[in-house]
A = this chain, B = another copy of it.
Amino acid sequence: MESLADYFKVFSEPNRLTVLETLRTGPLNVTAVVEKTGLSQALVSKHLKLLTIAGVVRRRPEGSLVFYEVIDKGVFQLLAQARKLMLASRRQQLDALAAIL
């Protein structure tokens, strides 16, 4: 996690966001995430690793399972704020378009 840009990059991938959303309600093991998302196991594993490296998620082995959980639920606030800004931008775009027509 070098720069701020790198941090944003963590959330700039649809499947990774999907995986992250999966953990909103609580810890899950890899297979559970796979089933919830429909993504391949290898892919889920990769994204979880990235999220772990980024410090967004914590890895907790338990027997033969490995559970992952969001460390700071504040990330979801970040997602929410970004979504809000995005929608506002979209509205503004439409207004600008309407002004032309």
A residues neighboring B (CB under 8 Å): 1, 3-9, 11-14, 16-17, 54-56, 71-72, 74-75, 77-79, 81-83, 85-86, 88-90, 92-93
Known: A4-B17, A4-B83, A5-B12. A89 touches B72 (CB 8 A): yes
B1 engages A90 (CB within 8 Å): yes
Pick 20 A–B contacts, CB within 8 A, sort by A.
A1-B89, A4-B17, A4-B79, A4-B83, A5-B11, A5-B14, A5-B17, A6-B12, A7-B82, A8-B11, A8-B12, A9-B12, A55-B86, A56-B89, A72-B88, A72-B89, A74-B81, A75-B85, A78-B78, A78-B81
